[in-house]
Amino acid sequence: MPELEALTGHVRAFGKTLTPLQGDQLPHWIKAVRADDLPSLRTFVNGLERDLAAVTAGLTLPWSSGVVEGHVNRIKMIKRQVYGRAGFDLPRKRVLLA
């Protein structure tokens, strides 16, 4: 049961760094998780450490690629809808008019 309580505490602490953009707290969080040696978070922490600079920037900087990803998703949806029905002209018009 103590492992579950520690896991819950670490997950909540990680969640608290997401919304207010406190990526600078990430190394402290990783150190705390490593100190508790929780097998369920070990892989997650290893993944964060592989690209720590990018993760820290993503959790610190106010910029996001969400708008671009939304446009890409919309274009892919249109592409799936017209697949096999028409040449290039129809999808082009649908993308430009949407």
Residues 42 and 80 in one domain: no
Residues 76 and 54 in one domain: no
51 shares its domain with 73: no
Strands (E), the chain: none
How many structural domains are present in the chain?
Answer: 2
**49 and 73 both lie in a single domain:** no
The fraction of the chain above a pLDDT of 90, given in percent, is 47
- Asked if residue 45 and residue 20 are part of one domain, the reply reads yes
Task: Tell me the HSE value of 86 on the side-chain side, using a 13 A CA sphere.
Answer: 12
pLDDT of res. 80: 86
The whole domain housing 53 covers: 2-60
54 and 18 belong to one structural domain: yes
Please indicate, yes or no, whether residues 56 and 71 belong to a single structural domain of this protein: no
Are 43 and 76 members of one domain?
A: no
pLDDT at position 94: 81
> For residue range 2-40, what is the model confidence (pLDDT) as tens digits?
888 999 999 999 998 887 888 889 999 999 999 998 888
